[in-house]
Amino acid sequence: MANWCSTDYMFVGATENARRLLADLEQAVCADSWLAYVRKALLPESCGMDIPCRGEVSYLDDELHEYSDGLAGVRFSTETAWCACEELMQRIADKYALHPYYYTEEPGMGIFQTNDAEGVYFSARYMVDSESKGCEYFDDFEEVASVIREMTGIEVRQFEDVEPMLTEWNGHSFLLVHEIEIV
């Protein structure tokens, strides 16, 4: 059975380029959300190439996100097998002269990554998964430490101490903390 990877994207660039991508993506996804179909619709010249595209577009925002300086972004999400389809997404971004920012996670493989080093589009740097609250995302470790303290009474000062300090507590329930890697 495949491990499924969830990835949120924000393709950013000149408003007209973003508008073209949104229109083309809407048309492609309306017909079929599978990435192989989206690839065929957006990059027909690449169909003979070996570019991983196993998965689907699971969400497409129907509006552009407008930013200053004539920039706009297209937000969408994918569910893919094992890992994000980086080559496919980079080729789409190149075709539309946009920059692809993303956050991807595949908990079974311990993948929690973003390429948004400045945190402009994906600011979270930690993911907390707990039995009582489910998954939550935090921008800094102080917020994570506060959640751990509220839930367990355990005082944690740095990320490296989380796992060893929660070992005993996790024997009764679960509270997992993941640092989001900047790639």
Among 58, 26, 61, 56, CA closest to 42:
26
DSSP 6-32: EEEEEEEEEHHHHHHHHHHHHHHHHH-
pLDDT at 33: 96
User: Which residues, 6+ apart, have CB-to-CB distance to 95 below 8 Å?
Assistant: 42, 43
Spell out, as residue ranges, where the chain has pLDDT lower than 70: 1-2
pLDDT at 81: 86
Token pair belonging to 141: 């470790």
pLDDT at 2: 53
Contacts 24+ apart (CB under 8 A), 174-177: 174/129, 174/130, 174/131, 175/128, 175/129, 175/130, 175/131, 175/148, 175/151, 176/128, 176/129, 176/130, 177/126, 177/127, 177/128, 177/129, 177/144, 177/148
* Interstrand relation of 126-130 and 134-138 (parallel, antiparallel or unpaired): antiparallel
